Structure 1
């Protein structure tokens, strides 16, 4: 890997694409981890309890940093699986490891142009490629592919070409097997925990995300569904420049949500953007039963308008998940019950989708009910909102809220954590998206009570 001129991570000049190469790289990492584990365990024999706890935290962080760095170099499915471990891992990995693995979401080096160019040439053909001027410096780099800006010569149409890294689709099965062994060798996963369901889900997700034809379908589906809503922009697909490894769409300009141009918008306009973010999520889940489940800020752009008609650009539909009607209806029971303080409805929905079991201790069920009622705080009435989180209109102050931390402490500090280890996969991805909505509204410093909006969509179920 080269270094850029600022001393940061430069581009990767070659990829280990063969299973044997990738297995050797990760096996060497695992063997190195084994020696460090032995040394750490011996040192712990001579430490008191408080010193041992601090040493364990430092050790987990170092192990996770080594793992994250190697996964970032390998790219492909092991890196994406590492990202997923940061998502699932909140239920079973040390907090320090989750924090480090989360960095894989956006701190990854791009791949050199000569590595991805053959994929593009094979995907759309050299004749089609000659129609375009492609910027060899990537616009964005991810675990499974990277995006390059381009311009069509005949009409100046601005494009974005998403190119899949060579060999990643073929390496998924081998990568998953190796990574599962590696997690155990680095002692990041608890002994005795069955991670097979987690890796099965990661495997399925990876096969879905390297399927650019399905991503193309979802991009066009979202564009159609939001066609008449002026608040949203979905890129147009250019099929003549697409293949199973290449996806080309229109380039859609916009600002990052943290840019000054967005942060300085008047409160009313930021509230309108906040309401749009909430409503599109509610539409996705309750009406369309399909959710774009990867909500990091790179997948959204804000397009401020001089007339105040600001728009949200929605990008990257490769992580779209489809939910069955039964799951949506049961989840609606939980949400409806939480808003109305209906314990039986909450438990009925929780049991139906596998979050709870009827035979759990009453203390666990009580905590689950309390947790659900807490989570819907922004959607409740003013009487159930902390006074410090309401403005004089009774609207929820998303930017001032510490709700995620309060909910996390509640789940971790009682019997719920013993029984509620790794939730059903639908919940993991749905809550990932829901957390993204909360973070987006907090970043916009939205002031919004979304109760009526939520009730509107609940009535449709």
Structure 2
């Protein structure tokens, strides 16, 4: 394998294993997982009591700083324990960080957001029985499997293997034993733990949020569905030379096992990709943006996990046709046509300064209702008009001049848009009228945010207005 074809996450996890950070097993029983989290909840209660007493004697900024440090420490302890347990409760913690921006302290969201899918691997002896139970020894005998995983996540890990009959290299993704069966218990326990750590407001009913987390976890543990999504993307992108989707090997797939062709590549943030010329980085960025727009507006089917590990870059040694490798379709979500149309109204209205169009889309989606004050709708319009900044026409007066190239391309590498969006949201959206968005919005924005981060990482210079015109009937 050429040096450029070694995936960064594979190297990292091989190193982690060599350093002895591989875990022998994870706690899969409901009782032992409950004990671990309940023990933490009891400890959190004692810390809350001590913090409350100490804060009684503090004033002003001293009290605010103490609160921030307290929330950060509580969240760090929670994240550490979830990371040790892995499985559905860790994945739920990751997802909670997405919802948490609407009701958790900023410090807690920052800590939970660090629960990424690059955790220490679990020993082969722990996952091998799951593989045997799923495929049977006769089928497994057709594979030469490396026992050291090339990647490990919250729900499972991936092992490189070779098909003995053909010599093809494949990746066998194995779900950790007991993960799917622990979802209900994990969600209930995490819900109690969020309450015990006082990270969420006492009066806020999070029942719907945790029900949505449960539904999402059930989907992500269903490797049969993930296989179907992988095959769908494989078929739809088969004739597009800019993209590579791994081929699925059905004989080596089951409910908790998924086997696909090994498709190596570089991380978008790698030094090799960063060293590419501006035009080549622009071409990759344009492809990333076009793929998302096609998924949402054309297919109504979006891979909502933008983690850099799910998108690799295959560098063309001849310097002409770099490709994007798309991996891991477990977080793929279908969107109703009516939702796509309503969301399109918000985008179109934001680009054309049509507040009535924005309001229609917002009400259709259910972000607000008929009782929402006009002033709040106007504040939301201010926010969305800012968010669509990269998709405006060249030299739009609403965009700072410094963010355009002389040719009218938007400079993603220089933009401070996320900071401006955050400031505007804090100023305009702090209101009892704003609801926690439905999961469709949460996970769509997760992907949109990932696309924008990718374009910024590539330091892209693009004109994206034309990309939306066919779907939104723009001028």
| TM-score above 0.5, yes or no | yes
SS in 2 for 1:170: helix
> Which residue does the alignment assign to 1:311?
323
SS in 2 for 1:91: coil
1:420-447 CA-to-partner distances (Å, cap 9, x unmatched) read 2411111001000000000000000000
Structure-to-structure mapping, 1:209-288, within 5 angstroms: 209-288=220-299
> Which residue does the alignment assign to 1:152?
163
SS in 2 for 1:349: helix
Residue of structure 2 aligned with 1:401, choices 394, 408, 415: 415
> Which residue does the alignment assign to 1:341?
353
> Which residue does the alignment assign to 2:12?
none
Residue of structure 1 aligned with 2:144, choices 104, 127, 133: 133
Q: CA distance change for structure 1 residues 42 and 8 in 2, over 3 Å: closer, same or farther?
A: farther
> Which residue does the alignment assign to 2:11?
none
> Which residue does the alignment assign to 2:445?
431
How far apart in 2 are the matches of 1:249 and 1:5? 24
Cα drift, residue 357 of structure 1: 2.3
8 A contact 1:269–1:310 mirrored in 2: yes
Unaligned runs of 5+ in 2: 1-14
Cα drift, residue 138 of structure 1: 1.3
> Which residue does the alignment assign to 1:390?
404
8 A contact 1:139–1:149 mirrored in 2: yes
Cα drift, residue 299 of structure 1: 0.3
Q: TM-score, normalised by structure 1?
A: 0.96
> Which residue does the alignment assign to 2:34?
23
The answer on 1:411 being equivalent to 2:419 is no
> Which residue does the alignment assign to 1:369?
381
8 A contact 1:71–1:79 mirrored in 2: yes
How far apart in 2 are the matches of 1:423 and 1:417? 14
Q: TM-score, normalised by structure 2?
A: 0.94
Q: CA distance change for structure 1 residues 380 and 297 in 2, over 3 Å: closer, same or farther?
A: same
8 A contact 1:379–1:449 mirrored in 2: yes
Unaligned runs of 5+ in 1: none
SS in 1 for 2:113: helix
> Which residue does the alignment assign to 1:359?
371
How far apart in 2 are the matches of 1:458 and 1:85? 32
8 A contact 1:355–1:420 mirrored in 2: yes
How far apart in 2 are the matches of 1:385 and 1:199? 39
Residue of structure 1 aligned with 2:457, choices 440, 443, 446: 443
8 A contact 2:380–2:429 mirrored in 1: no
> Which residue does the alignment assign to 2:135?
124
The answer on 1:69 being equivalent to 2:85 is no
8 A contact 1:92–1:421 mirrored in 2: no
Q: CA distance change for structure 1 residues 428 and 410 in 2, over 3 Å: closer, same or farther?
A: same
8 A contact 2:118–2:151 mirrored in 1: no
How far apart in 1 are the matches of 2:47 and 2:134? 44
Residue of structure 1 aligned with 2:99, choices 75, 88, 109: 88
1:146-198 CA-to-partner distances (Å, cap 9, x unmatched) read 11111112221011010000001011111111110010001111111111111
How far apart in 2 are the matches of 1:157 and 1:393? 46
Q: CA distance change for structure 1 residues 184 and 8 in 2, over 3 Å: closer, same or farther?
A: farther
Cα drift, residue 359 of structure 1: 2.3
Cα drift, residue 9 of structure 1: 7.5
